[in-house]
Amino acid sequence: MTALDLSSPVAVVGTGTMGQGIAQVALVAGHPVRLYDAVAGRAREAADAIGARLDRLVEKDRLTGAERDAARARLTSAETLSGLAGCALVVEAVVERLDVKQELFRALEDVVGDDCLLATNTSSLSVTAVGGALRIPGRFVGLHFFNPAPLLPLVEVVAGAATDPASATRAYETARAWGKTPVACADTPGFIVNRIARPFYAEAFALYEERAADPATIDAVLRESGGFRMGAFELTDLIGQDVNESVTHSVWQSFFQDVRFTPSLAQRRLVESGRLGRKSGRGWYDYRDGAERPEPHTAEPADPPAYVVVEGDLGPAADLVALIREAGIEVREEGGDTTGSLVLPGGRLRLTDGRTSAGLGGVVHFDLALDYRRAGRIALAPAETTPPRALAEATGLFQALGKKVSVVGDVPGMIVARTVARIVDLAYDAVDRGVASAADVDTAMRLGVNYPLGPVEWGRGLGLRWVYELLGELRRLDPSGRHAPSLALHRHAHVSDAGEGTPS
C-alpha cells in the first residue's frame, strides 16, 4: 500500500493551531487541501493565516514565489461538511472530547466515499474508541502530529483495534511522503511519547515533594548532567501545567490508575492556583516583568583530594577514572568491591545505585551523567552523618574535573539516575507489549521530546542489569510499586547478562 497520490484532496477539520499546521504540511507536500470548522468563518480565517505563513516561507527562501502561489491555489475552505465530499483523507483536529469526535466522524461517513481514509490527531483519547462507532472502522487511524506540525518531524501512526493494516500502512506512507518521520504504534494510553515520557515529569515533581532540591536545581541537573534539552519544571511551564497534568491524568486513568503513572499533588496545587506556566505569567517559575530567574544550587569551591583509590567496577561512571588522571590527581586502582567506589582520604564516593547515603554509613553518592566528560554539572547526595571532609573532597574532585556541583538531599536514586531508569523501564515494557518496535520507540523519544538518546539505546549503554538493580532498590525503599521494574526489564536484564540480544 503506497502513499496517497498528490492529486488526492486532503481535508482538515478543526482550524486551530494544530489543524492549521497539519493543513500546511499537506499543502506544501502538494495536495489540494480543504479546511472546515464548525464555527462559521474560521475556515476562511485559517486559510488566510496559512497563506501568511507561506509568505514567510518565501521570505526565508524555503519556498519559491511560484510554489507559494500554487499552494494557495490548492487551498480552499468549506462552509459545510458536505464540501469535503471526494476527499481521500480527512484529518480531525477538534476538541479532545470523545463524544464530539465520534459525532464528527459519524457525520463524515455520510459525506465521504467508503475508500476515504479517516484520521484523528488525538493525543490522549483511544483511537479505537473514537472510531468504534463507525460503519467502516477499518479505515480509521490515528495520525498524531506534534506541535508545531510544520516544524516537528515526528508523527505517531496509531492503529486502533479495528484498523485494517492496509489503512495504517497508507497513513504511514503518506506521512513519510509529506517529509515527516512516522513511527507505527498500537493504540495504548499515551501511544509512545506520552506514555514513556511520564517519568521525566513525575520523578522531578516527586523529588521536589521529597525536598531533594528546588526546581531550578533539579532542572539544571537534568540539563547539564542528564543531557536533556530542558528540565521538567521549565518544560511543563512551556507546555502549560494544565495541559501536562491533563495528559498525565488521562494516561493514569486509562491504565486503571496504575501507580507508575500517578499524577503529582504539587502540580495539582499549581494548576488549582492558576499558575499554568508561561501563558499565565507564573508556573514553577515567575515570568512576569522584572522577575528574577532563580539560580540552581552550586557548591562553593573546595580543594580536591590528594589521591583517589578506585575500587571495583564503576559501571556507567567508568569514564571518570581517565578524567581524574587528566586532572592531575593520583589514581590508585584496586580490585574488590564489585559495586565500585572512589575512595578519598576523607571518605567514600559512589555512583547512586538506588540506596540512600545514610543507608551505607555516610557514603557520598553522585548522580548519573549522560557523558561524564561533557557534563557541566554533577549532583552529590551526602547523608546527614557524612563527615564534612568527605563532602568537601567529593565536591573538590568534581570541580577539578571542570564540573559545577549541586548538593541535593539524600534521596534514593538521586535525579538523573532514577529518571532515566524509569524511562528505560517503560520503554522496554512498551516494546515487549507490542506498542512499538525498539527502533520506533527510540526515534519517537528523540524526535518527539528531544531526548539525547533513545531509551532502549540508553539502557543498553548503561547496562540493563544496573538499571534493573537500581529500580529494585527504589522499590525496596518505596513499596508503593511506582519504581518496580517491569517483567520486560527483568527478562532483558538477565538476557543481556548472558550476552544475548535486545528488543527489536
- Write out pLDDT tens, residues 183-225: 999 999 999 999 999 999 999 999 999 999 999 999 999 999 9
pTM given for the model: 0.95
Q: What pLDDT, on a 0 to 100 scale, did the predictor assign at position 359?
A: 79
Q: What percent of the chain has pLDDT over 70?
A: 97
Question: Which pLDDT band, with edges at 50, 70 and 90, does 333 fall under?
Answer: confident
Confidence (pLDDT) at 339 = 72
Residue-wise DSSP of 146-174 = -SSTTT--EEEEEE-TT--HHHHHHHHHH
The residues near 7 (Cβ < 8 Å, ≥ 6 apart) are: 32
Q: Active site residue: 121, 126, 167, 194, which one?
A: 194
Closest among 288, 269, 291 to 279, alpha carbons compared: 288
- Asked if the model's pLDDT at residue 501 lies above 60, the reply is no
Marked catalytic residue, from 156, 245, 311, 393: 156
Asked whether 185 and 157 are in contact (CB, 8 A), the reply is yes
- Phi/psi for 411 (5° steps) reads -105, 145
- Find the mean pLDDT for residues 439-461: 97
* Average of per-residue pLDDT across 274-285: 97
Per-residue pLDDT at 336 exceeds 70:
no
Kindly indicate the confidence band of residue 233, based on its pLDDT and cuts at 50, 70 and 90.
Answer: very high
- Residue in the block written with cell 556507567: 316
Contact between 40 and 51 (Cβ < 8 Å)? no
What average pLDDT does range 89-118 have in this prediction?
Answer: 96
CB 157 within 8 A of CB 171: yes
Q: Is 244 a catalytic residue?
A: no
Identify the residue with better confidence: 337 or 107: 107
User: Is residue 167 over pLDDT 60?
Assistant: yes
φ, ψ for residue 412 (rounded to 5)? -65, 135
pLDDT band at 496 (very low <50, low <70, confident <90, very high): low
* Whether residue 77 lies in the annotated active site: no
pLDDT band at 281 (very low <50, low <70, confident <90, very high): very high
Q: Is the confidence at residue 384, as pLDDT, over 60? A: yes
318 contacts: CB under 8 Å, gap ≥ 6: none
Q: What is the DSSP string of 130-148?
A: HHTT-SSGGGEEEEEE-SS
Confidence of residue 302 (pLDDT cuts 50, 70, 90): very high
Which range, of 34-48, 356-370, 463-477, averages the lowest pLDDT? 356-370
> pLDDT category, 504, cuts 50, 70, 90?
low
The yes-or-no answer on residue 123 being catalytic is yes
pLDDT above 60 (res 337): no
| Model pLDDT, residue 361 | 79
- Which residues make Cβ contacts (< 8 Å) with residue 46, sequence separation at least 6? 15, 19, 20, 23, 35, 37, 77
pLDDT bucket at 498, cuts 50 / 70 / 90: low
pLDDT of residue 477: 93
Catalytic residue among 123, 244, 264, 406: 123
pLDDT band at 150 (very low <50, low <70, confident <90, very high): very high
Among 31, 77, 92, 144, the active-site one is: 144
- Average pLDDT over the chain reads 95
Q: Does 156 participate in catalysis according to the annotation?
A: yes
Backbone angles phi, psi at 434, to 5 degrees: 80, 20
